[in-house]
A and B are shown apart, each in its own frame.
With several copies, the nearest count.
Chain A
């Protein structure tokens, strides 16, 4: 029997390390798969206020991946607590609520409102524009990351995860800032900004011109960032980006992730998370690991050389 459980800190123990990525999961999946098999449930990002989201088209296909510029349409936290939360209370898997806000204070206000039964943790989507800093995302810089996370940490005892953006030059520094500010885990990473153009209409394929790349095409980048962050911090790193199979999840765990999120893959294979869980068990069994957490230290590091940002050139 392989032990799949993982401890993500502050008393939050998941039955297995697999959960949905924010914005790629909602109530509808319960029509198709048993949500109780999943390690945790993570909501689409919500905001305090009502928000509309972006222009359509909001998604586009690219080579082995997708672009999205959904934005964060949100009915607000009050609506969420009254109408959405009760739905999730029927499941045993712990619920992580993803929140976002345009200012440090608004992040704290939003976090404070989630101290209610049925919410097991908060994922702060700090990959969103900070209107007090020219619209640059909080998670683009260590300083603004630290401010946002600290402000939330002051108002909540729930497990608090910081979701980082890949659109930064030094994600390890941002992860360290989140750790320093009291985050219990970092999620690595949100989508990377990208674009495509329809050469027949000569228009961008997204109404919003640019959008985030996700899916298999993004995996090697997010995996690298997961590896960099796992070496930079002592809190758990939750890997996310292009995971579609158990093999992909194993790569992330070997890179040092404590758990993984499956996003885009659920759109094309609604049962992807369950397949990842089953395949992880099988991999551990075949390779002789009794605990899935053993993978975190199993990377064969004998020839690892110092971590150079520009190994590539």
Chain B
């Protein structure tokens, strides 16, 4: 029954090996890429640098003046290179936490917990994918384009933004050989009807046997509808407020539609990448 006796001082049977680490990372660069976004490059060797596309980190943001972030802030891996030991995040300076993050100077350290969560997958049958994102969602998707490239999967990136200044990481996508299509609010090309036409065209051209999206509820719903109609495999990277990032606190739940049933899942643990077919509006 209960086993208090043997429960005390026995040493661990297997030596412990971690899958994620709370790394004290050193800032190499922390620069503005446009008026709202900064790119931070960290020296974070070990497990951190093994992060895969779609995985994220939970970042301890510094206390600065009246900004006293208590929780860590989740951020997608913008780049991780196991060889150089470098990890990068592209982030929008929004509230207390990201304002604090933005103050970090070269040489300072920051604790990053990760890699966390389930990243993107490229099933065998998928040979040519469409990656569609908006805003900071593009940061999450850039490593996917590189992963696809390494696996010989063709990529078309449909990048949505308010105006030309808000289109992030075109170069990252182009460097992988991805075909890039930019749609903007400023010239009306980002409207749903036009985007739908683009997606249907790509599908007709045989360039869309996978849909991947992040950063916009509207675009996600569009892709989900088309994926359903056209029988395309799809994945979406989700956001939700987080505390632990490790599946422990259950604060980051969202509802998913699993075979017609509404199921609550933890974005940090079951995701942040989910089957597009299961996603519901947020």
B70 touches which one: A94, A157, A215 (CB < 8 A)?
Answer: A215
Which A-chain residue is minimally distant from B254 (CB atoms)? Answer: A56
Q: Which of A58-66, A105-113, A276-284 contacts B (4 or more CB under 8 A)?
A: A58-66
Known: A15-B9, A57-B241, A62-B70. 16 other contacts (CB 8 A): A25-B248, A26-B246, A31-B19, A33-B18, A36-B16, A59-B241, A61-B70, A63-B68, A66-B70, A68-B251, A70-B249, A117-B1, A121-B2, A158-B2, A268-B72, A269-B111
* B18 pairs with A73, CB closer than 8 A: no
Give 4 nearest A-B pairs by CB, closest first: A28-B246, A94-B7, A34-B16, A36-B12
Q: Does A23 contact B (CB under 8 A)?
A: yes
Q: Which of B1, B19, B243 contacts A66 (CB 8 A)?
A: B243
Contacts of B70 in A (CB 8 A): 61-62, 64-66, 215, 268
Whole-angstrom CA separation of A29 from B269 in the bound complex: 11
State whether B71 touches A157 (Cβ < 8 A): no
26 contacts across the A-B interface (CB closer than 8 A): A5-B8, A12-B4, A23-B248, A24-B248, A26-B246, A29-B246, A29-B248, A31-B19, A32-B19, A32-B20, A32-B246, A36-B16, A52-B264, A53-B264, A56-B253, A57-B251, A59-B249, A63-B68, A68-B243, A70-B251, A73-B264, A115-B1, A115-B2, A157-B2, A267-B244, A270-B244
Q: Using Cβ atoms and an 8 Å threshold, which residues of chain A touch B243?
A: 59, 66, 68, 267
A interface bracket (residues with beta carbon within 8 Å of B):
35 or more
Chain A residue contacts of B22, Cβ below 8 A:
32, 269-271
A94: which B residues are within 8 A, CB to CB? 3-4, 7-8
CB contact list, B47-90 vs A, under 8 A: 60, 68-72
**Which residues in window 171-205 of B have CB below 8 A to A?**
none
Total contacts A to B, CB within 8 angstroms? 150
Interface residue? B152 (CB, 8 A): no
Q: What residues on B are CB-neighbors of A31 within 8 Å? A: 18-20, 246
How many whole Å from A241's CB to the nearest CB in chain B?
16
- CA A14 to CA B6, docked complex, whole Å: 10
The yes or no answer to A116 lying at the interface (CB within 8 A) is: yes
A11 on the B face (CB < 8 A): yes
Task: Assess whether B93 is interfacial by the CB under 8 Å rule.
Answer: no
Residues of A close to B21: CB separation below 8 A: 32
Contacts of B5 in A (CB 8 A): 11, 13
Is B250 touching A44 in the complex (CB atoms < 8 A)?
A: yes
**Residue A119 interfacial (CB < 8 Å):** yes
**Cβ–Cβ contact A120 & B4, under 8 A:** yes
> How many interface residues does B have (CB within 8 Å)?
42
Residue A203, interface by CB 8 Å: no
Give Cα A268–Cα B246 distance, bound, in whole angstroms.
11
- Report which B residues bind A (CB closer than 8 A): 1-13, 16, 18-22, 60, 68-72, 96, 111, 113, 240-241, 243-244, 246-251, 253-254, 264, 269
Contact A56 B250 (CB under 8 A): no
> In this assembly, does A10 line the interface, its C-beta being within 8 Å of a C-beta of chain B?
yes
Contact partner, A32, options B12, B18, B250, Cβ 8 Å = B18
| Residue of chain B at shortest CB distance from A116 | B1
Report if A236 contacts B (CB, 8 A).
no
Most chain B CB neighbours (cut-off 10 Å) among A25, A40, A157, A267: A267
Residues of B within 8 A of A33 (CB): 16, 18
Interfacial chain B residues near A269, Cβ < 8 Å: 22, 111
Do A92 and B4 have beta carbons less than 8 Å apart? no
Q: B72 touching A13 by the CB < 8 A rule?
A: no
Contact status A5-B9, CB under 8 Å? yes
Distance in angstroms between the alpha carbons of A184 and B140 in the assembled complex: 50
- Assembly CA distance A58 to B264 (angstroms): 13
Q: Which residues of A contact B113 (CB under 8 A)?
A: 32, 270
User: Are B10 and A28 touching (Cβ within 8 A)?
Assistant: no
Chain A proximity of B200: nearest CB distance (Å)? 34
CB pair A66–B240 under 8 Å, yes or no, is no
Q: Are A34 and B12 in contact (CB under 8 A)?
A: yes
Using known A-B contacts A28-B269, A63-B68, determine if residue A13 contacts B8 with beta carbons closer than 8 Å: yes
Q: Which residue of B lies closest to A36 (CB)?
A: B12
Chain B residues near A166 (CB-CB < 8 A): none
Residue contact A268 to B60, C-beta cutoff 8 Å: yes
Closest to B95 in A: A61
Given A66-B70, A68-B249, A12:B7 Cβ within 8 A: yes
Q: Smallest CB-CB separation from B113: which chain A residue?
A: A270
Cα–Cα distance between A195 and B240 once the two chains are bound (Å): 21
**Once the chains are docked, how many angstroms separate the CA of A215 from the CA of B249?**
14
- Of all chain A residues, which has the CB nearest B1? A115
Nearest chain A CB to B99 CB, angstrom units: 14
* Bound Cα distance from A64 to B71, whole angstroms: 10
What's the minimum C-beta distance from A69 to chain B, rounded to whole angstroms? 9
The answer to the question of A27 belonging to the interface, with a C-beta cut-off of 8 Å to chain B, is yes
> Which residues of chain B are near A90, meaning CB under 8 Å?
13
- Centre residue among B69, B244, B249 by max chain A CB count within 10 A: B249
Residue A147 at the B interface, CB < 8 A? no
How distant is the Cα of A12 from the Cα of B7 in the complex, in angstroms?
Answer: 8
Tell me if A93 counts as interface (CB < 8 A to partner B).
yes
Question: How far, in Å, is B70 (CB) from chain A's closest CB?
Answer: 4
A61 touches B247 (CB 8 A): no
B247: which of A27, A40, A91 is its contact (CB, 8 Å)?
Answer: A27
Instruction: Tell me whether B3 and A28 are in contact (CB under 8 A).
Output: no
Q: Determine whether A159 belongs to the interface, using a CB cutoff of 8 Å to chain B.
A: yes
